[in-house]
Amino acid sequence: MLRIHHLGHSQSERIVWLCEELSLPYEIRHYTRDPVTILSPPELKALHPLGAAPLIEDGDLLLAESAAIVEYIIVKQGGGRLKLGPAHPDYAAFLYWFHFSNGNLQPAMGRLLMMSRVRLPADHPVQASVQGRLDRVMAHVEARLGEAPYLAGREFTAADIMSVFSLTTMRLFQPVDLAPHPNILAYLQRIGERPAYRRAMAKGDPDLTPKLS
C-alpha cells in the first residue's frame, strides 16, 4: 500500500486527491509546518534531503516531486487513468497544462510570496515585474478556462490535480484576488463538487476550508 507523507497545507494535497480520484488504497502520515519558519518539520526532513513534500513510499521506493509522483501512481497503479495518451485529440493540451502548474503557475505565486516578504514598494521595477508575470499567468489560465471546462479540455485529468493547489491552498500564503477571473472561479466550483476532492481535503487537511472562491 502507498504511504503518503503529507505536509499540511502543501502541494502534497495533490497526491491524496489523486489517490481518491483513482480509488487507490493508501496510508497517510501527517506533518505540521514549523510555526516560526512555516517550513517542514525535522521528522519530514529526516526522510528526504530537501525535506520535500509530497513524499511517497511504495515498498522500498521513496519518491519526491509531486509531478513525478503523480505520473508514477497513474502509470504503476492507476491503469493510465487521468492521463491522456498520444492518440487523444487533447494530448498536447494535457501535456502543456500538466507541466504549466509547476513550470509557471506555482513559481509565479512563489516569487510574489518571496517579494512580499521583502516589502518593496509596488512601483519598484522588480516588484512590478513579478506582479506582472503573475497577472499574465492568471490571465492565461482564465482564458483557457473560458475555452474548456477543464485545463486539458473536456475531460478532468491530472493536469487539474496539479494546478488546483496554486489556485486554492497557496492563497493561504500569498493572497490573490480571483474576482477578476470568473472562469477560474467557476472552475473551482466544479472542482469543489467532486466527491474525491472533498474526501481528499477532509482527510489531508481537516482544519482547512478549501479556498474555492
Give residue-wise pLDDT tens across range 60-108.
999 999 999 999 999 999 999 999 999 999 999 999 999 999 999 999 9
Alpha helices by DSSP H, the chain: 13-21, 42-45, 66-76, 91-100, 106-118, 125-147, 158-167, 182-192, 195-204
Q: What is the pLDDT of residue 50?
A: 87
The residue ranges of every structural domain in the chain are 2-82+198-204, 91-194
- What's the CA gap between 150 and 128, in Å, rounded? 30
Cell, residue 51:
525535506
Q: What is the pLDDT of residue 127?
A: 86
How far apart, in Å, do the first and last CA atoms of the chain sit?
A: 35
CATH class given for the domain over 91-194: mainly alpha
pLDDT confidence bin for 40, thresholds 50/70/90: confident
Reported as a single tens digit per residue, the pLDDT across 41-66 is 888 888 988 888 999 999 999 999 99
- What's the CA gap between 6 and 157, in Å, rounded? 22
- The answer to whether residues 80 and 157 touch, using CB atoms and an 8 Å cutoff, is no
| Three-state DSSP class for residue 169 | helix
Q: What is the pLDDT of residue 13?
A: 97
* φ, ψ dihedrals at 163, nearest 5°: -95, -30
How far is residue 127 CA from its own chain's centroid?
24
Distances (CA, A) of 121 to 115, 118, 160: 10, 9, 34
Which value, in Å, is the radius of gyration of the alpha carbons in the chain?
17
Q: What is the pLDDT of residue 130?
A: 87
The CATH number assigned to the domain with range 2-82+198-204 reads 3.40.30.10
- The answer to whether residues 196 and 204 touch, using CB atoms and an 8 Å cutoff, is no
Same fold across 2-82+198-204 and 91-194: no
Average pLDDT score, the chain: 94
Question: Is it the case that residue 116 has pLDDT exceeding 90?
Answer: no
What DSSP character marks residue 126? Answer: H
What percent of the chain clears pLDDT 70, i.e. is strictly above it? 100
- The mean pLDDT value for 194-213 works out to 96
Q: What is the pLDDT of residue 181?
A: 98
Cell, residue 11:
502541494
- The answer to whether residues 171 and 211 touch, using CB atoms and an 8 Å cutoff, is yes
